[in-house]
Amino acid sequence: MAAKEKTVYVCTNCGQESPKWAGKCPACGQWNTFVEEVQRKETPVAKHTAHGIESVRTKPLRLREVLGSEDPRINLGDDELNRVLGGGLVQGSLTLIGGEPGIGKSTLVLQTVLRLDRLKVLYVSGEESTRQLKLRADRIPHSESDNLLIACETSLEEIFTHIKNTAPDLVIIDSIQTISTESIDSSPGSIVQVRECSAAILKFAKETGTPVILIGHINKEGSIAGPKVLEHIVDTVLQFEGDQHYMYRILRSIKNRFGSTAELGIYEMRQDGLRQVSNPSELLLSQDYEGMSGVAIAGAIEGIRPFLIEVQALVSTAAYGMPQRSATGFDIRRMNMLLAVLEKRVGFKLGQKDVFLNIAGGLRVNDPAIDLAVISAILSSNMDTEIEQGTCMTGEVGLSGEIRPVNRIEQRIGEAEKLGFTRMLVPKHNLQGLDRKKLKIGLVPVRKVEEAFRELFG
């Protein structure tokens, strides 16, 4: 059987193939993303029968004939990770965890598998030696288990040999960029190696029903390194993020075929590993902000999880002529829109002033319900007047200055009440049908931005 070789150019962004190099990818429009690959194809023995009627092994089914039972899940013993995955790890699934170097990906996976006493786990490391893994495991409190097997290997064929010999219930590969297969003549981490190795691992996971967790690197743009097709192949993509100067780590679900992509898990990085944060509101509030202007507390929701966050703003006279606009943890374009609403609808002239915005704790929030807290913090800093202690707020701000209703208002109110807040500004339309008799917190309905400012600053 002869093997044919040909050279093709593949886009690292979308996986588009081209027989010749091009500066701009015709599929995704990105520049300078084509790299050269050598492809070797085996000549098929009987090409005419491969697509013939005799080779068809399945037949189309009617939708009502398909069984719609829930996939059985493995409890990983970590409430945060279970929730982000949608209730646990699905049998035969392929999960990819990505993140910056040193953020704690390997620590998260290792401390999770150390708790799984009832499952036989094969941990394949292509980056660390067995001694390094032992030192890492010793820092994490755990009970001694004979079910965790460690292999330091980068050859895909050898990894499958280890799997065949040990028959594990769960396979961890750290990281996919270090694995290579002998059937392809290119270095580990190249586009074709990552694609072929991940496709072979997916085939193994689906055929045997063994769940596999891959750890992946990310590039300088913040996306998973390697071809975009890697994210299409896997069932679940989790992003582990956080600032190395902060102790908080956030696990987000970017893609999940078995659950919601709106969930997030919060961890605290400590000397002995990662600690689950079951009540993030207490960590994200710095408790003592009495006498400080430019601080507002917002009731936000990520996924199904409510928490209170601290929004900080600083408004000062532009020192260099051109005013600066900067936002950390918040969309800068949305902040510019809210500044335009303040100027047009409320009459505050901020055109010649620098505006800096920060979501405390290194968190990034996409919930539009924190709009009211953002403009309140900006105005508080501009007037150098503090917002009264025990006050929090929630509400989306529209372009005409109206405060629009938000979803899950009961959960937001309940979180504020639990943390001892006495007053909460909420959109007026959200109070329709809300039973306020059982609430201990005072609700202040506001319909427009001006009404909210009168309540906060008199």
pLDDT tens per residue across span 117-132: 889 999 999 988 999 9
Task: Quote the percentage of the chain above a pLDDT of 70.
Answer: 92
Strand partners, 123: 150, 172
- For residues 268-295, average pLDDT: 81
Q: Output the pLDDT for position 52.
A: 43
Host H or E run for residue 331: none
Q: Find the Cα–Cα–Cα–Cα dihedral 335, 279, 265, 263, rounded to 10°.
A: -70
> Would you place residue 345 in the very low, low, confident or very high pLDDT band (cuts 50, 70, 90)?
confident
Q: Output the pLDDT for position 61.
A: 87
Question: For residues 166 and 139, is the Cβ–Cβ distance under 8 A?
Answer: no
Q: Output the pLDDT for position 10.
A: 83
Place of tokens 């209730």: 87
**51 or 448: whose pLDDT is higher?**
448
pLDDT tens per residue across span 84-126: 998 899 999 999 999 888 888 999 999 999 988 889 999 999 9
> Would you place residue 339 in the very low, low, confident or very high pLDDT band (cuts 50, 70, 90)?
very high
Q: Give the integer Cα–Cα distance in Å for 436 and 228.
A: 50
H-assigned helices in 291-366: 332-341
Q: Give the integer Cα–Cα distance in Å for 170 and 449.
A: 54
**198 or 47: whose pLDDT is higher?**
198
Mapping DSSP to helix (H, G, I), strand (E, B) and coil, where does residue 172 land?
strand
Asked if pLDDT for residue 314 goes beyond 90, the answer is yes
Question: Considering only 166-170, 187-191, 254-258, 381-385, which range has the smallest mean pLDDT?
Answer: 187-191
H-assigned helices in 370-458: 371-383, 409-418, 449-457
Asked if pLDDT for residue 343 goes beyond 70, the answer is yes
pLDDT tens per residue across span 423-439: 999 999 998 888 888 88
Q: Give the integer Cα–Cα distance in Å for 126 and 187.
A: 14
Which one of 12-21, 245-254, 385-394 scores highest in mean pLDDT? Answer: 385-394
Question: Considering only 106-110, 145-149, 442-446, which range has the smallest mean pLDDT?
Answer: 145-149
Mapping DSSP to helix (H, G, I), strand (E, B) and coil, where does residue 342 land?
helix
Nearest alpha carbon to residue 407 among 373, 367, 376: 367
Asked if pLDDT for residue 28 goes beyond 60, the answer is yes
Asked if pLDDT for residue 410 goes beyond 80, the answer is yes
Amino acid at 335: M
